[in-house]
């Protein structure tokens, strides 16, 4: 008959390691994967959530609205707004007009 000491694990290499304590808004990759619905809820209620891999920030999960705001519009509206707000907007810029050389092409 084998006797086991219940105060000590049978195999110390298989003991459960405790996750490091992370600040609010930071997740270990495996925790973020296991609790993804909660991560999404927290993005909506608390803001961006950081996912770490091997102790380094790897990705930040943001809301779709925040992503669109950061990405900007592709229409050029932001560029137009910046140019219109420029103190130099009244400066006239004349494009230089030069005749282009014309080469004859044989057909």
Residue 88 has pLDDT above 60, yes or no: yes
Tally of structural domains, the chain: 1
Beta pairing class for 56-61 and 26-28 = unpaired
pLDDT score at 1:
53
Q: How far is the C-alpha of 73 from the C-alpha of 83, rounded, in Å?
A: 16
CATH number at residue 80: 3.40.1620.10
Domain assignment of residue 78, yes or no: yes
> Is residue 69, in this structure, part of any structural domain at all?
yes
| 8 A C-beta contact, residue 49 and residue 22 | no
**Would you say residue 51 lies in a domain?**
yes
- The pLDDT confidence band at residue 31, using thresholds 50, 70 and 90, is very high
Residues spanned by the domain of 43: 20-85
């Amino acid at each position: 008959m084998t006797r086991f000491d219940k105060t000590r694990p049978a195999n110390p290499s298989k003991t459960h390691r405790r996750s490091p304590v992370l600040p609010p808004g930071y997740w270990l990759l495996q925790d973020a994967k296991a609790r993804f619905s909660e991560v999404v809820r927290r993005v909506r209620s608390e803001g961006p959530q950081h996912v770490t891999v091997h102790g380094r920030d790897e990705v930040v999960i943001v809301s779709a609205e925040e992503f669109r705001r950061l990405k900007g519009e592709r229409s050029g509206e932001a560029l137009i707004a910046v140019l219109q707000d420029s103190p130099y907007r009244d400066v006239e810029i004349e494009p230089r007009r030069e005749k282009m050389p014309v080469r004859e092409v044989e057909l």
